[in-house]
Structure 1
Amino acid sequence: MNQIANELSTEKVSKLLLKQSIPAAIGILVMSINMIVDTIFVGQWIGVLAIAAITVVLPIGFLISSIGMAIGIGGSSVISLALGADNVEKAKKVFGNQFSLTTLSSIFLVTICLLFEEHVLKLFGANGNILAPAIPYFRIIIIGAPFLAFAMMGNPIIRALGKPTYAMIALILPAIANILLDIVFIKIFDWGMFGAGLATSIAYAVCGLFILGFLLSKKSNLKIGISYLKLEKSIVSEISSLGSITLVRQGTVSILTIILNYSLFKYGNESSVAVFGIINRLMMFIFFPVFGIVQGFLPIAGYNYGANLYGRVKEVLYTANKYGTIICVFIFLAVYFFNYEMTSVFTNDANLLNQTPNAILTTLLATPFIAFQLVGASYFQAVGKAKPALVLTLLRQSIFLIPFLIVLPMFFGLEGIWFSFPIADLLATIVTYIYVRKEIQKLSLTSSHHSDL
């Protein structure tokens, strides 16, 4: 623990951020390649409806895993603050409660999904011809979702413990497994959508079991016994306060998915759902370095805030925004010049090749400003300020985007759907800037007060 404390509190911020961010970014890259390859395989080997089916089903699986993600990110923020205050016993209790909460909640949600299978699929947009290929994929994905929930719970904890390389490996292993199994199950065995789902579920299991194995081993520095698994109201409340931010965000994503898939089908058809499926996978891939910076930023900001090192908190906030914005500018240029080539990787369908490039460019018009919004919202979560973190998280995907998705298509059809994204991004960035500017002023005053003492 002393070595971790020394690194997080004394090492040069830019070097530390890179050290934390690069493994996280590589892990996210491999995970996104995993998702992209999955979509490429079903798009090239099964068809357009297969892409639409994956677009509908995966958000349901991720809704279940988001419980684990919420518990993981909320708990890891508490763990970072506890370690910053040198309270190792509390960190262990938090981890034990995270384990119990993830187990109970994921089992409950999987049961609900299996009991009401067709209703759930239709709710998330399995309309028209999409339902038939979605059913076999859904059944097997849902069974693997609890493993993904444990993976999402454990990965932020590993980073909070100062072990970013292990967090990276945890994401690389399932990606490799999924790619290899996709080739075997879809191409060689010709198992279609069931094969695609089985490959993904096994990959989830590989990831979840690796992370749990690490956290329960001596390497994690969080050795716990059965007594730590007993839920404690105060700890659950603290985890929930911060984790609810992630849960609400992911829950909002689910609501967004329902509205989006409904609008895409209404103002377009099954192909329009597939178009967004390609855009969504592409966004997961191209933004991997920005997401890596955000993940690397969280434990550094949380630890130094807990240790009252406010000057370092400001420095890492500035550095993360600078690096993230530079990367986003390059991402936008790549999208501007190569949107057709990006589309052709996923499909050779003439209709999709005609629709998708322009939709990609329109959807990502506000890319240069996205880093500031992501880092800003994450900052408040990292330092344990749940209310502003929740507000900033909801801005883009709820307060701004959902109303635009409902209203703009009434006047502009499919184009209205695509333009909703950059408009929401710009408005969310403006509000985030206002929040962060006020917070920096507070940190400056608090830092000078500590210096006077």
Structure 2
Amino acid sequence: MNQVASELSTEKVSKLLLKQSVPAAIGILVMSINMIVDTIFVGQWIGVLAIAAITVVLPIGFLISSIGMAIGIGGSSVISLALGADNVEKAKKVFGNQISLTTLTSVILVAICLIFEEAVLKLFGANGNILEPAIPYFRIIIIGVPFLAYAMMGNPIIRALGKPTYAMVALILPAIANIILDIVFIKVFGWGMFGAGLATSIAYAVCGLFILGFLLSKKSSLQIRFNQLKLNKAIVSEISSLGSITLVRQGTISVLTIILNYSLYKYGNESSVAVFGIINRLMMFIFFPVFGIVQGFLPIAGYNYGANLYDRVKEVLNTANKYGTILCIFIFAAVYFFNYEMTTVFTNDEQLLKQTPNAILTTLLATPFIAFQLVGASYFQAVGKAKPALILTLLRQSIFLIPFILILPIFYGLDGIWFSFPISDLLATIVTYFFVRKEIALLKN
């Protein structure tokens, strides 16, 4: 732990950010490739409705597992601050409480989803012909969601411990498993949507078990005793305070998904839902280096803030913004010139090939400017300031985006939905800039 502390507090910031970000980015890349390949396989081997079904089902699983993510990110911020203050015992207690919270909440929610499956699917937009392929996919994938919750809970902790390579491996293993099993179950065995769901569910289990195994081993420095699994009111409150940011964000994404799927179906059809499914997978893929920077930024900012090294906090914030913006400019250039080629990877359906390229370009118009919003919102979470982090998180996905999706299509139809995204991104970035500028002015060593 002393070596990790030394690196986080003394190593050159640009080098440290690179060391933390690259493994995180690779892990996110592999995970996004995994989801893209999943969508490609069902799109090419099953059909357009299969893409729409995945677009509806996956947000349900991610909403449940996002509780694990919220517990993980909230707890990892507490752990980073505790380690910065050299309080290892508190860090262990936090980890034990994270395991118990994740187990309890994910199992209860999965049971509810299985009991009310059709109602849940329709709520998330399984309209028209989408429901039929969504049901077999949903039934099998939901069983693997608790393992995904463990994975999303544990991954931020691994990074907080200064072990980004293990966090990367934890994402690579299930991705490889999913891709191989997709080919076997869908193409070879012909199991259709059930096969796609089974492959993904097994991949979740691989990821969750690997992460739990690492965190409970001697390599993690967080070996816990059985009594540390007992929920502690003060620790749960601290985790919840910071984790609620992530939970609200993911909950808002789910509300957004519901509204978006209904709007796409209303102003378009099942194919329009599939179009967004392609865009959503593509966004996860092309933004992987930026997300990697954000993930690498979190433990560095959190540790140095906890150690009162504010100059390093400012430096890592500026460095992350600079690198993130450069990457976003390159990403937008790729989208501008190759949006049609990107679409052909997912489908050869004539209607999707006609709709999707322009929708991709429109949706991502604000890409060159969003790094600052992503890093800025994450900064407040990293340093344990829940209120501004929550506000900035809600800006794009709730305060701006949802109203625009509801209003603009009334006047501009389907195009209004696509233009809602860049408008929300720009407005959120502007507000984030003023929040961060005010906060940095208050930091003094």
Does the alignment pair 1:32 with 2:32? yes
Q: Which residue of 2 aligns with 1:120?
A: 120
| SS at structure 2 position matched to 1:231 | coil
Q: Which residue of 1 aligns with 2:383?
A: 383
1:434 Cα offset (Å) = 0.2
Q: What is the distance in 2 between the residues matched to 1:69 and 1:169?
A: 18
* 1:33-112 aligned within 5 A: 33-112=33-112
Does the alignment pair 1:245 with 2:233? no
| SS at structure 2 position matched to 1:86 | coil
Q: Which residue of 1 aligns with 2:184?
A: 184
Q: Which residue of 2 aligns with 1:264?
A: 264
* 1:174-323 aligned within 5 A: 174-323=174-323
Q: What is the distance in 1 between the residues matched to 2:122 and 2:101?
A: 29
Percent sequence identity over aligned pairs = 89
Deviations 1:171-204 (A, max 9, x none): 0000000000000000000000000000000000
Q: What is the distance in 2 between the residues matched to 1:33 and 1:355?
A: 23
Q: Which residue of 2 aligns with 1:151?
A: 151
Deviations 1:8-55 (A, max 9, x none): 000000000000000000000000000000000000000000000000
1:376 Cα offset (Å) = 0.2
1:399 Cα offset (Å) = 0.2
| SS at structure 2 position matched to 1:222 | coil
1:440 Cα offset (Å) = 1.1
1:231 Cα offset (Å) = 0.4
Q: What is the distance in 1 between the residues matched to 2:223 and 2:167?
A: 18
Residue 97 of structure 2 aligns to which amino acid in structure 1? Answer: N
Moved beyond 2 Å, runs of 4+: none
Q: What is the distance in 1 between the residues matched to 2:283 and 2:212?
A: 29
Q: Which residue of 2 aligns with 1:451?
A: none
Does the alignment pair 1:429 with 2:439? no
Q: Which residue of 1 aligns with 2:140?
A: 140
Q: What is the distance in 1 between the residues matched to 2:140 and 2:64?
A: 14
Residue 296 of structure 2 aligns to which amino acid in structure 1? Answer: G
Does the alignment pair 1:23 with 2:23? yes
Q: What is the distance in 2 between the residues matched to 1:370 and 1:137?
A: 33
Q: Which residue of 2 aligns with 1:414?
A: 414
1:98 Cα offset (Å) = 0.2
Residue 111 of structure 1 aligns to which amino acid in structure 2? Answer: A
Residue 333 of structure 1 aligns to which amino acid in structure 2? Answer: A
Q: What is the distance in 2 between the residues matched to 1:144 and 1:103?
A: 13
Q: What is the distance in 2 between the residues matched to 1:142 and 1:75?
A: 25
Q: What is the distance in 1 between the residues matched to 2:63 and 2:390?
A: 18
Q: What is the distance in 1 between the residues matched to 2:233 and 2:225?
A: 19
Q: What is the distance in 1 between the residues matched to 2:356 and 2:442?
A: 45
Q: Which residue of 2 aligns with 1:393?
A: 393
Q: What is the distance in 2 between the residues matched to 1:280 and 1:232?
A: 38
Q: Which residue of 1 aligns with 2:336?
A: 336
Deviations 1:74-96 (A, max 9, x none): 00000000000000000000000
Residue 304 of structure 2 aligns to which amino acid in structure 1? Answer: N
Does the alignment pair 1:171 with 2:152? no
Deviations 1:224-250 (A, max 9, x none): 010100000000000000000000000
Deviations 1:279-314 (A, max 9, x none): 000000000000000000000000000000000000
Q: What is the distance in 2 between the residues matched to 1:39 and 1:276?
A: 12
Residue 349 of structure 1 aligns to which amino acid in structure 2? Answer: D
Q: What is the distance in 2 between the residues matched to 1:188 and 1:406?
A: 43
Q: Which residue of 2 aligns with 1:439?
A: 439
Residue 134 of structure 1 aligns to which amino acid in structure 2? Answer: A
Q: What is the distance in 1 between the residues matched to 2:276 and 2:372?
A: 24
The runs of 5 or more residues in structure 1 that have no matched partner are 448-453
| SS at structure 2 position matched to 1:75 | helix
Q: Which residue of 2 aligns with 1:347?
A: 347
Residue 231 of structure 2 aligns to which amino acid in structure 1? Answer: L
TM-score by length of 2: 1.00
Q: What is the distance in 2 between the residues matched to 1:216 and 1:253?
A: 31
Q: Which residue of 2 aligns with 1:450?
A: none
Q: Which residue of 1 aligns with 2:5?
A: 5
Q: What is the distance in 1 between the residues matched to 2:224 and 2:93?
A: 8
